[in-house]
Amino acid sequence: MSTRTAKAKWNGSLKDGNGIMSFSDYNGPFTFASRFEEGKGTNPEELVGAAHAGCYSMFLSALIDGENLTPESVETSAKVTLGKDDIGPVVTTIELVSKVKCEGLSQEKFEELALAAKAKCPISRLVAAADVKLDATLV
């Protein structure tokens, strides 16, 4: 299939340092505050959320397409919660909220496909240790 590359560079101590994450056309800063507090910049969990939302949307679109239907839109957001266990920080929960517009798709088939996409999209499979929750709506 494909291999993608991303990179990160961190400078300095954990609390006082700073870093840059890069992939494709993105090049953004991250800091202790942007990860563990409410500081400016991005963080790994936010990027996992973006990846999960994008992956889920594409996978669900493919499943709908497999039913010979074409979705007008699949819009998904992901809320990633960073908690702590006895080892240290850990992603505990990912909450996907998806809204789908697709003429001709029944509610019953939609629910089946939404759950299948949650279980089978590559990023869901990658983050299987987290509690992935789904709130999907056919609009």
CB atoms within 10 A of CB 21: 20
pLDDT bracket for residue 128 (50, 70, 90): confident
Full strand arrangement of the beta sheet holding 18-23: 6-11, 18-23, 26-31
pLDDT score, position 132: 86
- The pLDDT value recorded for residue 12 is 95
- Please name the fold of domain 44-138: GMP Synthetase; Chain A, domain 3 (3.30.300)
How many beta carbons lie within 10 A of that of residue 103, not counting itself? 8
- Look up the pTM and report it: 0.90
Task: Give the pLDDT of residue 61.
Answer: 98
The stretches of 3-87 forming alpha helices (DSSP H) are 32-36, 44-65
* Cα gap 52→54, rounded to integer Å: 5
Torsion of CA 29, 97, 134, 30, to 10 degrees: 10
Return the top range by mean pLDDT from 1-10, 66-75, 82-91: 66-75
**How do the domains of the chain map onto residue ranges?**
6-36, 44-138
